[in-house]
Amino acid sequence: MTPSKGQEIDSTQLWLFIPLNQYKRPAKPLEETVRQGIIGIFQKLRPTKEITGISLNQKELTEIPLTKLDRIVPSPDWAGAVNALNLTLNEWEKSGSSKGNIVVVISHPFEGTPEVLTSWGKERDWIILDPPQREEILDSNLNWFTLQNKGGDTPFVLPSLEHCILRHVNGLSILRELFDWLWSNSCQCIIGINSWTWNYLKYIMKIDMYVRMIFVVKPFDYERLNIWFKSLFKQSTRRNFIFRETTTGKYVLSPDDPLDDKKLVRFDTNFLKNLAGYSTGIPLIAWRIWRNSLRTDPDEELFLKEDELEIDPRDKRRTIWVLPWEKVDLPVIPEGVKRNESHILHALLLHDGLPIKSLSQILPISVEEVTQNLNKLKRLGLIENRGEDWVVAPMAYPRIREFLNSEGYLIDDP
């Protein structure tokens, strides 16, 4: 159920799976639109004036130690998302096996949907299909599927379809055989797929014609981010935190209880609206930026004791300081990014990460050139490692997406 307008969102309703045609990204405030343009880049290069806060300036603030940060903004456990998926698929699950009974859940990069689908499938003891090896994809070897699937009517979950293809002359053979098999056999299955891969396959092989229902996670607007960030630290510590902007002292997250202060500063939604707009409503991108924006006063006794986060003193609140949005350090794509580097960025998004060898197989670039370009993109903060694979950096993703769109690449709309 979706909350009505003006009704506060309950923490249990943060995660919602909606039909694809209802998906709408949060609007970008004008401030962030300007920042991502020429003026924003110019201002980033200019020396900035020192801005003082209500009781301290930013030079006195320090980054929060990782062990403490993990307790203030811990990784999500996905339980809420799994429960939301339960509600969404309840009737479909009861419908049982039938030919072409396929549900697709589209996952935007860094949205966590593969983890959610895996947890959902394990709860039901469904088969969880691992993707084939990349050599098997190029060899058009369907054994990976037949070895894991126990029978034609056994329900299964394939969390990451993007890992079953390569943009290569032989890279779609397995996928075509898989969907032909699904269409002709009585089998109930749910498939997760990267939004970039979905749009590519819809263009190449009209994959949407095979699917019964398509869902996507409802984007996190500023209201959802406000509730989500507060729920994260409440799950990991009993400490009562308040989050205030360093330059104005205004609350960045809404306080739960009014403080006994006649001069109470108001809750300012500016930071969260910019964060929702920049992250395009993708929770883990917003989560990563939020973590990077938090600071502490080194004189604050909050971090002097190793176990203090577990203490709950009466009427004692600890302040976590938040950099103003214009001070958050976000990657910038310089004009010097060349065509080969653009090809690499697009390939990484299309496949949700690739190793050097695979990049050289699907792109007209030698292994040596791929390696050089990857190192350059890493220095710019645009990509990072995930094991042997290279992936787009979460904080850089929104700007990379807009850059590739401006360069004429097929992106992930809608």
Tokens of 356: 């050097």
Can you read off the two tokens belonging to residue 194?
């990267």
Which range, 51-65, 95-109, 378-392, is most confident? 378-392
The two three-digit tokens of residue 22, written as one number: 């209802």
Could you give the CA distance from residue 233 to residue 75 in angstroms, rounded to a whole number?
A: 10
The rounded Cα 127 to chain-centroid distance in angstroms is 25
Phi, psi (deg, nearest 5) at residue 243: -120, 120
CA distances from 364 to 58, 173, 197, 330, 367 (A): 47, 21, 20, 31, 10
Q: What are the beta bridge partners of residue 107?
A: 194
3-class DSSP state for residue 203? Answer: helix
pLDDT band for 32, please (50, 70, 90 cuts).
low
Residue ranges covered by each domain of the chain: 24-75+220-327, 101-211, 339-406
Mean pLDDT of all residues belonging to the chain: 84
- Cβ within 8 Å of residue 383, ≥6 positions away: 345, 348, 374, 377, 390, 391, 392, 393, 396
CATH architecture of 339-406: Orthogonal Bundle (1.10)
**Model pLDDT, residue 300:** 61
Give the tens place of pLDDT for each residue, 282-319: 999 999 999 999 998 876 654 444 444 444 444 467 88
pLDDT at 40: 45
| Under 8 Å between Cβ of 411 and 196 | yes
Measured CA to CA in angstroms, residue 123 lies from 22, 91, 119, 154, 387 at distances of 28, 16, 6, 15, 28
For residue 153, pLDDT over 80 is answered with: no
d(CA 17, CA 214): 10
What mean pLDDT comes out for the span 273-280? 96
pLDDT level of residue 28 (50, 70, 90 thresholds)? confident
Which residues contact residue 169 at a Cβ distance below 8 angstroms, ignoring those fewer than 6 apart? none
pTM > 0.85: yes or no = yes
Average pLDDT rounded to a whole number, residues 171-194? 88
Are the folds of 101-211 and 339-406 the same? no
pLDDT at residue 128, rounded to an integer: 93
CATH code for 101-211?
3.40.50
pLDDT higher for 153 or 209? 209
Q: What is the pLDDT of residue 51?
A: 31
Q: Is the pLDDT of residue 7 over 50?
A: no
Confidence of residue 191 (pLDDT cuts 50, 70, 90): very high
Q: What is the percent of the chain with per-residue pLDDT over 70, rounded to a whole number?
A: 82
Q: What is the reported pLDDT for 3?
A: 47
pLDDT of residue 98: 76
Question: pLDDT digits over 319-374, tens only?
Answer: 899 999 999 999 999 888 899 999 999 999 999 999 999 999 999 999 999 999 99
Q: Which pLDDT tens digit goes with each residue over 94-133? A: 888 777 789 999 999 999 999 999 999 999 999 999 999 9
pLDDT tens digit sequence for 248-273: 999 999 987 655 454 556 889 999 99
Least confident of 12-21, 34-43, 219-228, 380-389: 34-43
Q: What are the residue ranges of helices labelled H in 38-172?
A: 38-45, 66-72, 79-95, 113-123, 134-138, 143-148
pLDDT band at 57 (very low <50, low <70, confident <90, very high): low
Tell me the pairing of strands 156-158 and 127-128.
Answer: parallel
Contact of 25 with 281, CB cutoff 8 Å: yes
The answer, yes or no, to whether residue 25 has pLDDT greater than 90, is yes
pLDDT for the residue numbered 5: 44
